[in-house]
Amino acid sequence: MAMLDLVTPTATPHFRLVRSTTEPLTPQLAQKFREMPPSPTERLLNESRVKHLRAKADAGLLIPFQWAFATWNGKTYRMNAQHSSNMLGGLDGKFPKGLFAHVDEYEVDSLEGMALLFRQFDDRKSGRTPIDVSGAYQGLYPELADISRDVAKFGIECVTWFNRHVEGISGVLGGDDQYSRFSDTNLYTFLHWLNEINPKKELKVQAIGAAMFGTFDKLPDQAREFWQNVANGGIEFDDTAPATVLYSWLKEAYEDTLNYRVKAEGYYQGCVYAWNAFRTSKTIPGIKSDMVRGGFYKIAE
């Protein structure tokens, strides 16, 4: 009966902040949290999170930690700090200097109150999404202020895809780091043009955007004409025009009505195949998206 009382939800689960302190970050403080009994609400230890924090430590990017513990029934439980304290414990004498930890102490009135408190840390609604990070970098440059954040993010990702997969450039920044490329003024004309096109859902694939970037980088005026026609659904009354055939193919791929699944490389190949037909004034009955000997199709000029 006593155990049943422990897990029976209270009418109003509650937690209360007892005190907050800011303390120098020391090996002793990290060890204290690392060895503290975990809350039963705590996440499983994720080694990739520990490695991510270690990479930040190695790069000198750590900022003050926000750690917390709670007391219930006279016992103390770690509420937050599992991954960071574990990472700090493995620094092998390279403990960061000059940092602090903001330490919060709570009281909870029940296990449900402990779960409610757990939900306040790293709230999913408050997490930094990729578009938040992209927008932060974009916002540094007034020249990009009139570009939709969604389009600007997509544009950078397409350039990254092109550099990495088509050009085979090693060490291309990925993840959130790629959005630092908003500092590259050479990309501004492409990003502004992409915003004008405002790619619809059928074109919102990085490999497709990579083909748009590759063609625009070579022949911007001709790329404007071709991709605007594609974005408009093709050329009216001309079912064999490359722009028309490409849009129809992309639409079928998006709607999953093709008799095969298009991979990322296939999207790029199909787009460049249609572009090359456009540049040589040819009509085409369909799209070829297979890889060829030597890799990707070369973009015709």
Shared domain check, 119 and 207: no
Q: Which of 60, 95, 126 is the last residue of a domain?
A: 126
CB 112 within 8 A of CB 13: yes
Q: Looking at per-residue confidence, does 13 or 258 come out higher? A: 258
Shared domain check, 198 and 86: no
Shared domain check, 188 and 118: no
- What are 11's two structure tokens? 């009418």
Q: How far apart (Å, rounded) are the C-alpha atoms in residues 63 and 60? A: 9
Q: Is residue 62 part of a domain?
A: yes
- What are 203's two structure tokens? 């074109």
Shared domain check, 170 and 45: no
The mean pLDDT of 103-121, rounded to a whole number, is 92
Shared domain check, 146 and 120: no
Shared domain check, 51 and 32: yes
pTM strictly above 0.85: no
Q: Which of 110, 126, 142 is the last residue of a domain?
A: 126
Q: Is residue 86 part of a domain?
A: yes
CB 179 within 8 A of CB 134: yes
- The residue range of the domain holding 49 is 2-126
Q: How many domains are contained in the chain?
A: 2
Return the closest-CA partner of residue 153 out of 126, 128, 171, 180. 180
Tens-digit pLDDT profile for residues 202-218 = 999 999 999 999 999 99
The mean pLDDT of 282-289, rounded to a whole number, is 96
Tens-digit pLDDT profile for residues 180-195 = 999 999 999 999 999 9
Q: Is residue 300 part of a domain?
A: no
Q: Which of 82, 109, 126 is the last residue of a domain?
A: 126
Shared domain check, 93 and 78: yes
CB 68 within 8 A of CB 80: yes
Res. 1: pLDDT tops 70? no
In the DSSP assignment, the letter for residue 99 is: -
Tens-digit pLDDT profile for residues 17-73 = 999 999 999 999 999 999 999 999 898 999 999 999 999 999 999 999 999 999 999
- Band of pLDDT at residue 246, cut at 50, 70 and 90: very high
Q: Is residue 284 part of a domain?
A: no
pLDDT score recorded for residue 269: 98
